[in-house]
Amino acid sequence: MKKLSLLALIVIFITSASFTLLQNKPWNVPADKAKVANPVKTSAASIADGKALWSTHCASCHGKAGLGDGAKATTLNTTPPDFSKAIFQSQSDGALFFKTSEGRDDMPSFKKKIADQEDIWNLVNYMRSLKK
């Protein structure tokens, strides 16, 4: 009985550790992509355009205010980040553009769904407006 209990604890520990590592898997952006400057100036119009795209493509997972609490968030293997936090906001515009365009794991690629690159830059400007 003790061996079975020990085995169960080991399985639980390994599962928990694996889940934690999956959740915290770094998303490395190529340096040349991270350095790309946003060609779209931040403006009320750009933010409004980004917000409209956000509502259509992003809010279901990332939440209306970008807190990672969208209706689909609980169905994902990874937790969407809180875009209002400093760790998210400290990323370069180029990194945010790259991640949005390319996607990874649960995060889909948007380079075909949002084919106009200016629209993705508008999304980046909107993401910047979500900071605390």
Model pLDDT for residues 22-58, shown as the tens digit of each residue: 455 899 999 999 999 999 999 999 999 999 999 999 9
The encoded tokens of residue 73 equal 């968030």
Q: Count how many domains the chain has.
A: 1
Query: What mean pLDDT comes out for the span 112-119?
Result: 96
Distance CA 71, CA 84 (A): 18
**Residue 117 vs residue 23, higher pLDDT:** 117
Residue 16, both tokens: 């928990």
In a domain, 20, yes or no: no
CATH of the domain at 123: 1.10.760.10
In a domain, 56, yes or no: yes
Residue 5 lies in a domain: no
- Domain housing 61: 41-132
**Gap between the Cα atoms of 107 and 110, Å rounded:** 9
- What secondary structure does DSSP assign to 46-102, as a single string? HHHHHHHHHHHHTHHHH-TTSSS--TTGGGSSSPPP-TTSHHHHTS-HHHHHHHHHH
Geometric angle at alpha carbon 65, from 74 and 111, rounded to 5°: 75
Q: Within a domain: residue 99?
A: yes
Q: Is residue 48 part of a domain?
A: yes
In whole angstroms, what separates CA 32 from the centre of its chain? 20
pLDDT for 74-112, tens place per residue?
Answer: 999 999 999 999 999 999 999 999 999 999 999 999 999
In a domain? residue 77: yes
Q: Report yes or no on 122 lying in a domain.
A: yes
CB atoms within 10 A of CB 97: 23
Scored b (16 or more CB within 10 A) or e, 50-75 reads: bbebbeebbbebbbeebbbbbeebee
Residue 49 has which token pair? Answer: 């355009």
Q: Does residue 93 lie in a domain region?
A: yes
